[in-house]
Structure 1
């Protein structure tokens, strides 16, 4: 059956059936990869009666949507109903899911023509003779090699009848077919228990232990979707040994519910928690009698070798991307602080060098793991956030600007932390030197956080994917941190490298002061970002805070140069008061959601000097693709350095702008400077969790072409060569 068969069938029924029958099937809505309709099993609804309605979809061949628990990634169907007063709908009843492997991951979903059933109940005082209109705003994620969020507004009219109506021919046929794909209710007795921190599910009833058996848990993140489920036959059924996911908590999980598939059958279960029977052992340590009853063909698992290869590739990209972060313009001056220290200490104590290398690395790892842990915890709680999320808050950007300003003033020599660069040798052996090494590691990560640099888009997206085990996400971030720490760590561990560094001298102080301007340039960029987020009011407040911060730095430096204890104390009190005042001022900054300047400056008709720009929206993208218009999507943010470099050096250059106009390509900007759930969903659909991301949709293409994170003229020319 073609993609539009359901639409044609519905129109045919509507044209030939009686008026009452025609109302039980809505007009179809085609959304690019699916045709969707609202259908009713009966031709009408009586007062107080409950009937079945449903969302029927015909999916494009090779594409799938998701079950209530999507597995390792994906999003389930959501329906927002608009109903007449007194009418109520129940929960979505999903058809049987099946496993959809994706590398080391496994998703749970549906293909073909799924029917999602919902109970509709009329109020007891509904007046017969009236016709009620039901409206559903449905959203779903549909995927093949790529994932596309789709949505449709569907309407269905039903007459209210005095007595229960008969079946609607078109609707009843769809429900009869849909019932064959719904889980059976009852038929199995189920219980579960915890065994050594892992759930074990016991099923009793008519079960062939040699059949292919798999448990689909209803709860997300309780059982690992891609993990092997080992099946062992017991006297009156089977025992399934499951692998826990990161949200598994036996103390809080009373009922383990979901669907068990046994061959072609699917049975809904709700297993109550019980105590573990005596003598139960996992299959890898099973007793001879249990091992003999094991069903080797029943285990479902992703290929371990494939998973290992993919994970190693992800870790390799994370490590390489972490190394590259060292040369980011706002990271390098921070690294220089320690490199300059090392150049002097290389001539002195070897133990000091090694100790500081490890302490610096520890600071980086602590920062990366803290950020990763916070991201994973927030995302597990339902927040749609990604790498660099903290810079979507204008107050955080302002605080970050204060820190960068202080680092710049320190490099410029207005005040010193510890001792001067040339005299740092003695300080390194003291506690302050150890603290400085650790703090420098923390600061290096903080200034690296605004962007996903080259090679980091895929690893960060993988680490933060919807149902990724927390330990894997933490491992990816830890390896990224090792990459960032590697250059300094190698210098500290290998004596030959340290001794090859230039000897300390006056040039180091001058070079340190020159690097302060890199920090001030970063400060300019942060102020610009804040202006986009909080407007001119925010700009005034942050400038006042910077003025107070500058005064605090001057006063602190004055205290370091003062000889009298009273003068030192007075200057430091002034510094503390000024920095406190600056932070107090920042509390008054409030977000003002504004379109970024590159969207606001979209060209007028006939203006060929600027990009033909539109702001990102799923609906606009669908309209442009349906019209056969090529679309280039720039997922960007004002706080992303790589994004701005690509914009200034490639995307806004006239030779690239001319290609956009000549080829008729629309430049769509997905501006993530402030939090935008729609853009976050689109990034997650591409397996990413941060910017930049560049996608190109050629006319008629079923999927997007993903471009490198660092653009060039050749890349853009080659991308548009298909037009």
Structure 2
């Protein structure tokens, strides 16, 4: 669907360019790439053959595509404007590379894409020059964006005796050497309507192969997957895949097979398989009808890196802002402290963060809980809200927090007690960070959950180290500390200003509580925050009356906590008219039923305590053009609210290798529960509309 849309867009651009005229440039520059059109001859005689060379060099971080681009992308094509008597054949591409991104598998090239085509000049060509011109159009992509490119280009060859360009001839030879070799090994394929199997018989001299991969040249027959099920037994290589969505029934299946021999030599062969009506190899079925969770397309090293990067980025998410407010005050103090104490402060804070994440990893592994599981407990949200009130009062100067309150004090490097407080500030950072999800985290956390055991815990430790890394770097690199402003009177004003986000965070936590237990519970929680403020303020008074008021208020806070702990969580009710999506509540049984009826369905999993979820809903899912796209395609929208514990949602998240929200799934017409399109964690309206 996306590819069809892009083709329509590109041909529209081609038509527009044709009306504007064609450039006469051998080399042109678009906004993101350089394009060059040349040939292997500088002069040519009528009746001779020549080779056209097109070189597209994208900017760093961008890539182009092969003839079959896979799940997304478009190859480079040319709308030729040629004089009579000139023929140019099909483009010839080199062996592609795998370009995986999230759930999308594409085939293409990093760096320069060099394409050749055979040309021929007729015997009766009577012009003085051969002008090769046309309009090139293609798609280049980065890891975050795809941009169509369109450029008119031309190249002129003199008419006369044949004169070759040795440098260009060498380029052609290099390209041909990198092309897959067409070979006639016995090959066949079979499909039973769901499974697609292909088999090739290799010659006896190839006894061992490694790192094999099958690139489908025939589009629309086999599903594109990152990790392929390929086996090599008794001289036969067998690939087992699913049928492609909207399978195209053909009598032949063409593909490129790449592998290394036992000697480490790379090979690439172009093969053609004929259709077999009988099965050519057994299909390996799963024992259960319900798909088991599979590891995300990550190895352990990549999962570690993603966890670390996700932890670093987590510092920028709004969930961690309250702790950053606390650290902002202490960081300024670092500029005047003893370097040894500064480094100890960094190590203690890092220890608190890493150990807390390690504990989270153990809990998740033992009890199969999800990311942010504690936010599903109303009493936890109530307690955290009161803690934010305490921190806000402290920053406003109502009272000074001692070491007995476990580490939200501000003198982080002044004494042994403040060392203890530094450690627990790291613990608090982890507690408030869990409602957020940063880029890179989903795959890493899914890998940790599905791997389990020590491997999963190590991933959590890497995530914690990433969260603590910026502060640790500040403590160990003096140059960074010297860049900090000098302490002064302005710090007292800043301290009071930073109290405001703490109260805002408390209100947010009480709002979550209200969605869990009802609006009355939110009102009671706010009242508890007021009673706590009164108790703290009155405690500083010397009069007996105020001491009594402080004690009574504190008892009131304890009573509200007891009262809220005895309330049952309320089942979320989806207000379709408010969202504009006409969403219905998620049920895996209902989803299966709709998919069996062939209906398109979009499912998103969210929670009121998930800041990333709410940001996506505000920025993307609440927009009118997104609502219109769902309505035009008659797509049913289901929302899984994970604010409170829901076993059905938890199992579904785990099925797709996730342990937390957000998760966005799109099931086009004809899909099953096993093969949805999975959208990125950070949404924009264009991402959603393009996915549809």
Q: Partner of 1:661: helix, strand, or coil?
A: helix
Question: What are the within-5 Å matches in structure 2 for residues 240-639 of structure 1?
Answer: 310-379=299-368, 385-417=369-401, 428-465=413-450, 468-556=451-539, 558=540, 567=542, 578-579=553-554, 581-589=556-564, 590-596=566-572, 599=574, 601-603=575-577, 610-639=580-609
Return the offset for 1:552: 2.8
The corresponding residue for 2:162 is none
The aligned counterpart of 1:716 is: 688
| Structure 1 residue 580, shift from structure 2 partner | 5.0
**What is the RMSD computed on CA atoms of the aligned residues?**
3.4
What SS does the corresponding residue of 2:638 show, helix, strand or coil?
strand
For residues 242 and 417 of structure 2, the distance between their equivalents in structure 1, rounded to whole angstroms, comes to 53
Residue-by-residue CA offset, 1:607-662 (whole Å, 9 max, x unaligned): 9x811211111122122223332211111011111111111121112222222212
> Offset of 1:447 from its aligned partner?
0.6
Cα offsets for 1:210-244 (capped at 9, x unmatched): xxxxxxxxxxxxxxxxxxxxxxxxxxxxxxxxxxx
Compared CA separation, residues 427 and 628, structure 1 to 2 (3 A): closer
Which range moves more in the overlay, 569-578 or 327-336?
Answer: 569-578
Partners of 1:374 and 1:688 in 2: how far apart? Answer: 16
Equivalent residue, structure 2, for 1:684: 654
Contact 1:393 1:674 (C-alpha < 8 Å) held by counterparts: yes
Local SS of the residue matching 1:336: helix
Counterpart of 1:645 in structure 2 is 615
Tell me what 1:133 maps to. Answer: none
In the alignment, the residues of structure 1 paired with residue 241 and residue 494 of structure 2 have an alpha-carbon distance, to the nearest angstrom, of: 53
Say if 2:378 and 2:516, in contact at 8 Å, map to a contact too: yes
Distance 1:104 1:470, change over 3 A: farther
Shift, 1:540, TM fit: 3.4
- The CA deviation at 1:386 is 0.9
Distance 2:449 2:554 in 1: 36
Residues 145 and 677 of structure 1, relative CA distance in 2, 3 Å threshold:
farther
Q: What is the rounded CA distance, in whole Å, between the counterparts of 2:637 and 2:535 in structure 1?
A: 45
Query: What secondary structure sits across from 1:715 in the alignment?
Result: helix
- Native 8 Å contact 1:330 1:519 kept in 2: no
Give the CA deviation at 1:461.
2.1
* Residue 572 (structure 1) shift: 7.7
Aligned to 1:675: 645
SS of residue in 2 equivalent to 1:695: strand
Cα offset, 1:469, TM superposition = 3.9
How far is the alpha carbon of 1:554 from its aligned partner? Answer: 2.0
Give the match for residue 671 of structure 2. Answer: 701
Aligned-residue offset at 1:477: 0.8
CA separation of 1:469 and 1:656: change in aligned 2, threshold 3 A = closer
Q: Which moved more, 1:652-661 or 1:313-322?
A: 652-661
Asked if the contact 1:418/1:427 (under 8 Å) is kept, the reply is: no
* Alpha-carbon distance in 2 for matches of 1:505, 1:662: 60
Q: Please give the alpha-carbon distance, in whole angstroms, between the structure 2 residues aligned to 1:546 and 1:402.
A: 6
Deviations 1:353-408 (A, max 9, x none): 111010111111121112222222223xxxxx211111112122211211122222
Looking at structure 1, the residues matched to 299 and 592 of structure 2 have their Cα atoms a distance apart, in angstroms, of 32
Structure 2: distance between partners of 1:539 and 1:145? 50
Residue 361 of structure 1 aligns to a residue in which SS? helix
Distance (whole Å) between structure 2 residues aligned to residue 569 and residue 341 of structure 1: 36
C-alpha deviation, 1:716, in angstroms: 1.3
Aligned residues of 1:612 and 1:661 also touching (Cα < 8 A): no
Q: Is the 8 A contact 1:610 1:657 kept in 2?
A: yes
CA distance, structure 2, for counterparts of residue 144 and residue 331 of structure 1: 43
> When the two structures are superposed, what TM-score results if normalisation uses the length of structure 1?
0.52
Structure 1 SS opposite 2:319:
coil
For each residue in 1:412-452, what CA deviation from the matched residue of structure 2 results, as whole angstroms up to 9, or x when unmatched? 33223359xxxx99772312221221121111111101233
Matched positions, count: 405
Q: Which structure 2 segments of 5+ residues have no match?
A: 1-191, 198-224, 230-239, 244-294, 404-408
Give the Cα separation in 1 of the matches to 2:680 and 2:544. Answer: 54
Deviations 1:460-484 (A, max 9, x none): 222122xx34211111111101111
Q: SS at the partner of 1:330?
A: helix
Change (3 A) 1:622 1:554: same
1:321 deviation in Å? 0.9
Tell me, in whole angstroms, the C-alpha distance in 1 between the residues paired with 2:296 and 2:526.
Answer: 51
CA 1:508 to 1:376, structure 2 compared with 1: closer, same or farther past 3 Å? Answer: same
Tell me: CA distance 1:145–1:668, structure 2 relative to 1, closer, same or farther (3 Å): farther
Aligned 8 A contact 2:317 2:436 in 1:
no
2:437 & 2:318 partners in 1: Cα distance? 14
Aligned counterpart, 1:47: none
